[in-house]
Structure 1
Amino acid sequence: MISNYHYFLVLAEELNISNAAKRLYISHQCLSKYLKGLEEAYGVTFFERKPKFSLTHAGNIMLKTLREIERSEQNLESQLADIKESKSGVIKFGITEGRYPIIIPRLLKEYRDRYPNVELTVYSMTSPQMQELVLNNELDLFFAGTGNLISRNLKHSLVLNEHMYLVISDNLLRQYFPEDYPGCISRFEAGVDLALFQQVPFVLNKPNFNSRIMLERHLQRRGITINCVNELTQPDIHYRLCAEDYAASFCLTMYLPGVSQLNQLGGSGSRLHVFPIKDFKQVNPLSLIYHKDKIFPSYTQDFMKLIREICDRYAAFPQP
């Protein structure tokens, strides 16, 4: 009775028979008949009908089992595709919002040149959302930091260890270090002590993001408090605000080219300085994350290699 198991999966995702039937290109009557037959065969109810359409305990058990069957079938297809040297398929890839404009334009172009018949679908969302989709077999893999992985069923392959830097405009340095400017610049290039920056305004990431978690651990260990005047999730906006002398901020390795580009463009703001942080021991391990039981065909393995190649370019990028 688990033939057409994807009917059940779509129904569990939609929790609405009409919407699920539309996605499956079958009639409402056909899908209702399928569900009734399935429940009669196993002698249990998989979905509550009232007060709203929802999975029962038996339904959740069935859903978990069918996801495993789906993953096994996909693994089989991946291995058979390599046997017949198939160069066509589908990759469902996730990436966080901040890294999307950094990685995706180049990745789409270079991968299409290598595999024009592979359909690459990219999703942009938070790490917890992508973890859930991978565990539900709705996403093949995603690119993110590994600091907040929550399941032992996830496997990760390290791509890049990012370091954190302080970003501050020339005008803010002049304002907050008037007696030591510009001599402080050469000294800070060897590393800044954040204890000296406690009065400087900062724009930071939201508390649940990896970069903010790393920063808070460092501050707590040092017993330092900094002056956060705003919290934003878009790193590119952080650096634009820095260039307008609104606040200082922090930058991970992959965002260094964006800071350098702002300096090249000039505009109304002052030049941005990027300084390493003294005694900052943590790194942000960026990885490709996927289900531990997932088997990828060669075109997906090559996709992962391409991401590593792109990230290697950022690892070698000099500080602005």
Structure 2
Amino acid sequence: MGYQLELRHFNYFQVLAEELHFRRAAERLFISQPGLTRQIKQMEEIYGVSLFERGTRFVRLTAAGVYLKKEVDTLFHNLERVEQELKAIADHDALSLRLGFIGSAVQSILAQLLITLKHEHPRVEVDLQELSNEAQVTKLLKEELDFGFVRIDAIPKGLTGIPVLTEHFSLVVPYAYPTQQDNFTKLLALQEEPFILFSKDYSHSYFDLVMSIFKDAGFQPHVALRTVNALTIFNMVEQGLGVAIVPASLKKGYTTQVKFIDLDQIPQRTTLSLLWNPKVKQRGINVFLDIVQKEIHA
């Protein structure tokens, strides 16, 4: 065999693996169907393995083809990232970052991090995505986010993380509620109240942590409403639909008519962590990590 694999072979393979139809794949690639067949045959001969099963009415990937499809997708994803990085370097060191976050991150640390980032790197481009903890983890593993600010009790396999803020909880009550910070004694006194909590979709481990607060208090709460949005919780409490328990940092940044009672005497604490995928390689990663470390130490 006098031929070698070139980038075009992988492009042809990727398109055919997506279409699983030689004619449609050839049309997408603007080559003839026999030409596409010949290129795939070359790949199979070089690797010594069948990549596709071919029938009179079907084309499907073999086990080797499934594996190669995953690797080829990663290859082209990395090539696209390299192109973006090279353009950024040519554009006077412009940076781009994709940041996932939960609402409490904005009130606690994210806003200051973004201010510092803009000050030190004025040309930085930041794509902010407010997502649940689980959604951020999924996107990080798929390399669709550079960083995620989450509340989970363990770093998922394949990711790296550091704690950025550990804080106590606060009880949220209506503005004119009889119980306030100065006369609050124990959570058990509110056992007949409906509670509005972050749902398990926000974070399974966070939800379990909050439920442990009620267990220690000696009662099972009536959870009237669940949501993944802090503002929704505050609006519901303001309307008298229940009371809530949230991270203490959420006292900042909202203008709803509610009051907060610090639960700083209980042992439960919630930690906001920063996660990232070590497989993602781009200049903005280390830049942002340096800023985060400085902010934590400060």
In the superposition, the TM-score normalised over structure 2's length comes to: 0.70
Residue 160 of structure 2 corresponds to residue 155 of structure 1: yes
> Contact (CA 8 Å) 1:160, 1:312: kept in 2 or not?
no
**Equivalent residue for 1:119?**
125
Question: Residues 285, 9 of structure 1: CA spacing in aligned structure 2 closer, same or farther, 3 A cutoff?
Answer: farther
Give 1:195 deviation, angstroms.
1.6
Q: Which residue of 2 aligns with 1:273?
A: 259
**Residues 67 and 137 of structure 1 are in contact (CA less than 8 Å); yes or no, is this contact kept in structure 2?**
no
Paired with 1:47 and 1:289, the residues of 2 have a C-alpha distance of 40
Q: Which structure 2 residues correspond to residues 224-235 of structure 1 after superposition, within 5 A?
A: 224-235=219-230
Cα distance in structure 1, aligned partners of 2:55 and 2:116 = 48
Match of 2:197 among 192, 204, 225: 204
Q: Which of 289, 303, 307 is matched with 2:288 structurally?
A: 303
Return closer, same or farther for 1:48/1:138 CA change in 2, 3 Å cut-off.
farther
Contact 1:159 1:285 in 2 (8 A): yes
Alignment of 1:95-106 (within 5 A): 95-96=101-102, 98-99=103-104
2:233 to 228, 232, 238: 238
CA distance in structure 1 between the partners assigned to 2:142 and 2:51 by the alignment: 21
- Tell me the residue number matched to 1:266: none
Percent identity for Structure 1 against Structure 2: 16
Preserved CA contact (<8 Å) 2:168 2:264: no
- Superposed, 1:135-174 pairs within 5 Å as 135-147=141-153, 149-151=155-157, 153-171=158-176, 173-174=177-178
Larger mean Cα displacement after TM superposition, 299-308 or 122-131: 299-308
SS at match of 2:149: strand
Which AA in structure 2 matches 1:251?
Answer: V
Aligned with 1:220: secondary structure? helix
Q: Which amino acid aligns with 1:219?
A: F
Q: Is the 8 A contact 1:100 1:124 kept in 2?
A: no
Residue type matched to 2:169 in 1?
Answer: M
Q: What per-residue deviation string (whole Å, max 9, x for no partner) do you get for residues 221-252 of structure 1?
A: 44421121111221101111212222111221
Indicate yes or no: 2:291 matched with 1:285: no
Q: Aligned equivalents of 2:285 and 2:32: distance in 1?
A: 33
Which structure would you say has the larger Rg?
Answer: 2
Native 8 Å contact 1:17 1:28 kept in 2: no
Q: What is the deviation of 1:170?
A: 4.0
Looking at structure 2, the residues matched to 125 and 55 of structure 1 have their Cα atoms a distance apart, in angstroms, of: 34
What amino acid sits opposite 1:224 in the alignment?
F
Q: Deviations over 1:119-159 (max 9, x none)?
A: 333334333333233223332222212325431x2100222
- Give the stretch that moved more between structures: 288-297 or 233-242: 288-297
Pair 1:255–1:73, CA change in 2 (3 A):
same
Task: Give 1:130's aligned residue.
Answer: 136
Cα–Cα, structure 1 residues 237 and 111, in superposed 2: closer, same or farther, change >3 Å? Answer: same
Q: CA contact under 8 A between 1:48 and 1:56: conserved in structure 2?
A: no
Distance in 1, matches of 2:228 and 2:52, equals 40
Which one of 241, 247, 260 corresponds to residue 242 of structure 2?
247
**Counterpart check, 1:219 vs 2:214:** yes
Deviations along 1:74-101, one digit per CA (max 9) or x if unpaired, are 99999999999961243232223x3587
* Closer/same/farther in 2, CA of residues 215 and 93 from structure 1, 3 Å limit: same
Please say if residues 236 and 258 of structure 1, whose CA atoms lie closer than 8 Å, have aligned partners that are also in contact: no
Q: 1:209 to 1:239 in 2, by over 3 A?
A: same
Query: Match of 2:98?
Result: 92
What residue in structure 1 maps to residue 256 of structure 2?
A: 262
- The 3-state SS of whatever aligns with 2:241 is coil
1:281 alignment partner, SS class: coil
Q: Is the 8 A contact 2:143 2:280 kept in 1?
A: no
Number of equivalent positions: 283
CA distance in structure 1 between the partners assigned to 2:11 and 2:132 by the alignment: 28
- Give how far 1:279 is off: 5.2
The answer to whether the Cα contact below 8 Å between 1:94 and 1:139 also exists between their aligned partners in 2 is yes
Which sections of structure 2, spanning at least 5 residues, go unmatched? none
Distance 1:122 1:10 in 2: 30
Deviates further, 154-163 or 48-57:
48-57
